[in-house]
A and B are shown apart, each in its own frame.
Chain A
């Protein structure tokens, strides 16, 4: 049996009475008080997630830019220092090795924050493609990552409004950290990257400032309501970015791994598309459930905001248009759903709208 890894905040979670579960090789909090109250805290005020299991890779050197420009789907030339972008690491067939956020620290130094389960795979993938003048290092063990998310998150942390997908060195109550205006909830928020040894103190300060501890359960319901794909569920090495609806992070006018295949799919039109849907009947779709007429559910849950079952799944392209009726096989029972425009949940327009 493999031993589960623990983040620097493990003792904090246990002390808060969290229910700990294995996730991607880590022992992580799935919930503290409950998925729904934690979800609502993030939608209405602020929540704090320990996402230290995620991987951090640093790519440095005079040709670091070149290495990443040829392996990532998005166009790195659009990034200035202090800016970040969502990008995919693609394989030769246009499949998705991982989805990640790349941060430009300097013209010669980049940070990639990657999925926990893909940390080693991404590192090896980039190492194999390393060129003279680029160095890839896995610095994950040196850092913890706290996501503080919600319409009041910046105010709770005493931070001013800054643009989404920017970052800067800063401090929270005297604890130095990198403050990234990124997240996985559809709400305003930051991800705080902090040296592992300072993480427990930072967690305490953030909780004292009023952010509700939230677990992986709420993280999943929050991201699915706003249709952020989860690698391993909705996207993976066998699914291409165009079919997944991620063409907007693929710069097809530059050369990168698998771009030829992606251009072809774009040109011909994808056969399947990742559609978002809301159940019309009382039922909760779950990963792997067949969709009548072809395809299956890749992510499904109960939406606390809609109080309904919601999900995403690949369906034949002609059935992916909003308002198309789908029938999902919920453990042998046909249950009707309606395709909706992404995101499934969108905050009413207001001064502190989501990113």
Chain B
């Protein structure tokens, strides 16, 4: 069922509890274990359209649990090249595997240098501790 709390070292994090896995000039985006745990079981993913341009720190979609709606904040700017249809069809996939099967979108980065401003796993864990 629910995943156990982890924050993988190979990812970069946004303080709004979103992660990015950067591979060359592309990145996969998702929400962190903390975000899915705070929301509870996800029942809806409102994705951006493929081809949409999304800007760092802005909302690119929404996820909803029974009780709450949350904006998805993109850690990086770029163009959406793929939406995870599995999460559209079965949003609880995010709760089960937030960093794997529960990824949300893949984007082509418009400014890879933006990644330097993101948190590494240690800094993100610290942010959660301080909250």
Contacts and interface: CB of A to CB of B under 8 A. Distances in A.
A53 interface: no
Given A31-B40, A36-B41, A282-B88, A217 B64 contact: no
A331 B46 CA distance: 11
Contacts of A104: none
Contacts of B43: 36, 284, 302
B127 interface: no
B69 A302 contact: no
Given A35-B40, A36-B41, A282-B44, A30 B64 contact: no
Contacts of B64: 284, 302
Contacts of B40: 31, 34-35, 217
A31 B40 CA distance: 9
By Cβ-Cβ distance, the 9 closest A-B pairs, closest first, are: A302-B43, A35-B66, A36-B41, A302-B66, A34-B41, A284-B64, A284-B44, A217-B67, A301-B66
Contacts of A35: 40-41, 65-67
A326 B113 CA distance: 46
A30 B67 contact: yes
Contacts of B69: 284, 286, 331
Contacts of A7: none
A63 to B, nearest CB: 45
A34 B38 CA distance: 11
Contacts of B88: 282
A302 B69 CA distance: 12
A221 interface: yes
Nearest to A39: B66
Nearest to B62: A331
Given A34-B40, A282-B44, A302-B64, 14 more contacts: A30-B67, A34-B41, A35-B40, A35-B65, A35-B67, A217-B67, A284-B64, A286-B69, A301-B66, A302-B43, A302-B44, A304-B66, A309-B44, A331-B69
A251 interface: no
B58 to A, nearest CB: 15
B52 to A, nearest CB: 14
Interface in B15-52: 40-41, 43-44, 46
Contacts of A31: 40
A283 interface: yes
Interface in A261-286: 282-284, 286
Interface string B73-108: 000000000000000100000000000000000000
Interface of A: 30-31, 34-36, 217, 221, 282-284, 286, 301-302, 304, 309, 331
Nearest to A221: B66
Contacts of B67: 30, 35, 217
Contacts of A36: 41, 43, 66
A217 B67 CA distance: 7
Which among B43, B44, B65, B66 has the greatest number of chain A C-beta atoms within 10 A?
A: B66
A32 to B, nearest CB: 11
A182 B47 CA distance: 42
B65 to A, nearest CB: 8
B93 to A, nearest CB: 14
A239 to B, nearest CB: 24
B60 to A, nearest CB: 14
Nearest to B42: A302
Contact of A283 (B41, B44, B66): B44
26 contacts: A30-B67, A31-B40, A34-B40, A34-B41, A35-B40, A35-B41, A35-B65, A35-B67, A36-B41, A36-B66, A217-B40, A217-B66, A221-B66, A282-B44, A283-B44, A283-B46, A284-B43, A284-B44, A284-B69, A286-B69, A301-B66, A302-B43, A302-B64, A302-B66, A304-B66, A331-B69
A221 B65 CA distance: 12
Contacts of B46: 283
Contacts of A301: 66
B53 to A, nearest CB: 18
Nearest to B2: A34
A36 B66 CA distance: 8
B51 to A, nearest CB: 18
A148 B60 CA distance: 42
A88 B44 CA distance: 36
B112 to A, nearest CB: 31
Nearest to A308: B43
A34 B88 CA distance: 20
Contacts of A302: 43-44, 64, 66
